[in-house]
Amino acid sequence: MIKLKSLLSESTMSPSDFKVVIDAAKKATGTKEKIASGTIKLCTQVKKDGFHKIDYKGKPGKAREPHKLMYQYYAYVQGWGHSKYKNDFAWRSDKGDKLLNWIQTSGKYSSPFDYDYLKKHVNSDMQASQIVSDIRPGSKDSEPAYYLVKSYYNAFGSERNTYVHDQVINKVAWWLKKHKVETL
């Protein structure tokens, strides 16, 4: 029987719970974490841009920690900074990464990569950072946030008008305002 409380509550994963899972996987497999250097570089850029401090409405909120293992792993399994995984489900079939394979097949833990809040924020933080990477603070005649995001999504043939799309628009608008970028 499914309880109403379990239907209404979101599955969460704290950084300490995540570390327990990773430590168990490292102990069981005898391997270390293998996060791509490109992923770590992108996480550092997100922190430098300040997107990790912005909530889904584009306002300062609870800061995420891009320099920590959990954030970096979420970016890694979503394919940020490397070409090994095309989406956040591709890692589940990777037999080459012993650590991720153990997490997927051990059955000891519910998936530590299903924390929806962090998954969406990592995705939108990374996208917002990519969008503003070529814009200099104080620039003039830049496109407004919506059009910057729209052209970014069009470049990849991605879907628009999703929850993450709205987050990215709000985060880019925050960055443009913070850096006094004049829009058309």
Residue 113 structural domain: 15-134
Instruction: Count up the domains in the chain and report the number.
Output: 1
Q: What is the dihedral of CA 149, 55, 14, 90, to 10 degrees?
A: -10
pLDDT number for residue 5: 52
Residue 28 placed within a domain: yes
Residue 176 placed within a domain: no
Residue 98 placed within a domain: yes
157: left (phi > 0), else alpha (psi -120 to 50), else beta?
Answer: left
pLDDT number for residue 159: 66
Report the DSSP beta bridge partners of residue 54: 60
Residue 35 placed within a domain: yes
pLDDT number for residue 11: 62
pLDDT number for residue 177: 93
pLDDT number for residue 85: 86
Distance set, CA 177 to CA 21, 96, 182 (Å): 40, 44, 8
Q: pLDDT tens, position by position, for the chain (184 residues)? A: 455 555 445 567 788 889 999 999 999 999 999 899 999 999 999 999 999 999 999 999 999 999 999 999 999 999 999 988 887 778 888 888 899 889 888 877 768 888 888 999 999 999 999 999 988 888 888 888 989 998 888 887 776 667 888 999 999 999 999 999 888 7
Report the DSSP beta bridge partners of residue 183: 142
Residue 174 placed within a domain: no
Residue 64 placed within a domain: yes
Residue 169 placed within a domain: no
pTM tops 0.85 = yes
Residue 158 placed within a domain: no
Which position has the token pair 């850096």?
Answer: 179
